[in-house]
């Protein structure tokens, strides 16, 4: 493995592709170091530029163009999110970075509950909260702030929107 990386083929690669761009120690000692900064600049500018053909290639041009389009789309989505949600626009981190991690207990769970007063409609009924029967449970997905679309931005999740008649 080491021989493949640092073997004698590297001498051929250096002499064929790298030597025209950089001078060796022997060439520097034979030619001498330029006396002024202007002579050094002229010497450097007279060498062929190894990166110029790569930088003017169509591939690099297309990569730059697609990068600008991605940046423009992200800026447009950010402006639409700020216009739609205003000061409530949030950036939620993907990873919990708090000092003490918030890990739920293995025995914990969540279910929608309603008080007996809400179930019967009688304000005199008191008691603790009771679980709704399964046929009365309704689950909704809050769409959040993730928007999609290019010209008209819509919330990404519109399958189960929150109904407007729910009172919390």
- Tens of pLDDT, residue by residue over 12-24, are 877 777 777 777 7
The C-alpha atoms of residue 44 and residue 67 are separated, in whole angstroms, by: 32
* Helix residue ranges per DSSP H, the chain: 2-6, 9-13, 25-31, 37-46, 52-55, 58-85, 116-120
- Tens of pLDDT, residue by residue over 49-98, are 777 888 889 999 999 999 999 999 888 888 888 888 887 777 766 777 77
The C-alpha atoms of residue 161 and residue 164 are separated, in whole angstroms, by: 9
**Mean of pLDDT values over 34-55:** 82
pTM of the model: 0.42
Domain ranges of the chain: 7-65
């Amino acid at each position: 493995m080491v021989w493949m990386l640092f073997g004698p083929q590297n001498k051929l690669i250096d002499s064929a592709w790298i030597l025209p761009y950089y001078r060796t120690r022997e060439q520097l000692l034979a030619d001498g170091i330029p006396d002024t900064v202007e002579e050094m600049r002229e010497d450097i500018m007279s060498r062929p530029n190894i990166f110029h053909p790569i930088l003017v290639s169509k591939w690099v041009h297309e990569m730059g163009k697609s990068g600008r389009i991605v940046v423009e789309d992200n800026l447009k989505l950010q402006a639409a999110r700020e216009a739609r949600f205003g000061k409530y626009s949030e950036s939620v981190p993907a990873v919990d970075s708090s000092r003490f991690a918030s890990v739920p207990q293995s025995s914990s769970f969540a279910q929608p509950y309603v008080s007996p007063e809400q179930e019967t409609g009688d304000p005199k009924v008191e008691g603790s909260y009771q679980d709704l029967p399964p046929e009365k449970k309704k689950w909704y997905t809050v769409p959040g702030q993730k928007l999609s679309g290019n010209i008209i931005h819509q919330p990404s999740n519109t399958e189960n929107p929150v109904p407007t008649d729910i009172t919390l």
